[in-house]
Amino acid sequence: MAGHSQFKNIMYRKGAQDKKRAKVFSKHIREIQVAARSGMPDIEMNPALKTAVTAAKAVNMPKDNIDRAIKRGAGLADGEAFEEIRYEGYGPAGVAIIVETLTDNRNRTASEVRAAFTKHGGSLGETNSVSFQFDRIGAVGYPAEVTSSDEMFEAALEAGATDVVSSEESHDVVCEPDDLHAVREALEAKFDTPQLVELQWKPQVTVPVGEDHVQTLFKLLETLDDNDDVRSVSANYEVDDAVMATLAD
């Protein structure tokens, strides 16, 4: 799965090969600190923290880094205080975009996110101005070689998932947000640590993007995703194969 969900035309993520290791770790450290601050620093007693730690382990973050992040989040060591802020707006071709951030400076983050939208033909809106077009879901992902599609489907439904999509590359398990921790624990007990555990925004409908707008849209999404304060970027676009082929030429 390597950081993707099955919503490849929806949830925009650069491939791991395009990201620096330190930057990946930095984003996971922030997730751990926020989770530790919002609950107990004990992984077994704090489901959000356990999910954040699981995700960090999936990218091979060293245990020392994880332990330090937990201590900082719990106030047991010096560190920045991060807060979660969501931005919403529209990109080229009227694509709805949700940007979730973890920041220690909301003025800086707001300025940078707004500048990215403005520079690339978009407009930043108010909170909840586009999120009504998405459903909040939980996602758990495993590589395809872990098990068969039938076994994953049976195990996922037994764990409380609502859907499973299996492909040659991955098994993508979908559940209600409140069930994410329980589903992850049940699948982890059977198939070991998943490669992806997170909450996602799944669009209710998608917007087709043609050749005239696709490059600008992708540049906007890439700029947002490259921002150190951004934890995820979700958009309701769809690009057909013919348009994608023109980008490859």
Task: List, for residues 105-131, the tens digit of each pLDDT value.
Answer: 999 999 999 999 999 999 999 989 999
Strand order from edge to edge, sheet including 96-103 = 123-124, 83-90, 96-103, 230-235
Concatenate the DSSP letters of all residues of 167-217 into one string: -SSEEEEEE-GGGHHHHHHHHHHHH-S-SEEEEEEEESS-EE--HHHHHHH
The pair of structure tokens assigned to 9 is 């035309």
- Residues 226, 26 contacting (CB under 8 angstroms): no
For residues 161 and 183, what is the distance between their CA atoms, to the nearest angstrom? Answer: 7
**Is residue 6's pLDDT more than 50?**
no
Report pLDDT for 68.
87
3-state SS class at 237:
strand
Nearest to 52 by CA among 72, 70, 78, 77: 70
Three-class SS state of 240: coil
What does the chain come to in residues? 249
pLDDT, tens digit (0-9, with 9 covering 90-100), for 222-240: 999 889 889 889 999 998 8
CA distance 249 to 247: 5
Q: Distance (Å, rounded) from C-alpha 115 to C-alpha 90?
A: 13
| Domain ranges within the chain, ordered by starting residue | 16-73, 83-132+204-248, 135-202
- Beta-strand pair 207-208/230-235: unpaired
Angle CA(231)–CA(104)–CA(179) in degrees, nearest 5? 40
Q: What pLDDT band is residue 249 in, cutting at 50, 70 and 90?
A: low
Average pLDDT, the chain: 85
The CATH number given to 83-132+204-248 is 3.30.70.980
Superfamily of chain region 16-73: Integrase, N-terminal zinc-binding domain (1.10.10.200)
pLDDT of 15 above 90 = no
DSSP 115-164: HHHHHTT-EE--TTSSGGGEEEEEEEEEEGGGS-HHHHHHHHHHHT-SEE
Euclidean distance between CA atoms 144 and 170, whole angstroms: 4
Q: Tell me: the pLDDT tens digits for 34-52?
A: 888 877 778 878 888 888 8
pTM of the model as a whole:
0.76
| pLDDT above 90: residue 155 | yes
- Are 16-73 and 83-132+204-248 in the same CATH fold? no
Assign domain 135-202 one CATH number from 2.40.30.160, 3.30.70.980, 3.40.30.10, 3.40.50.1700. Answer: 3.30.70.980
Is 141 within 8 Å of 173 (Cβ atoms)? Answer: yes
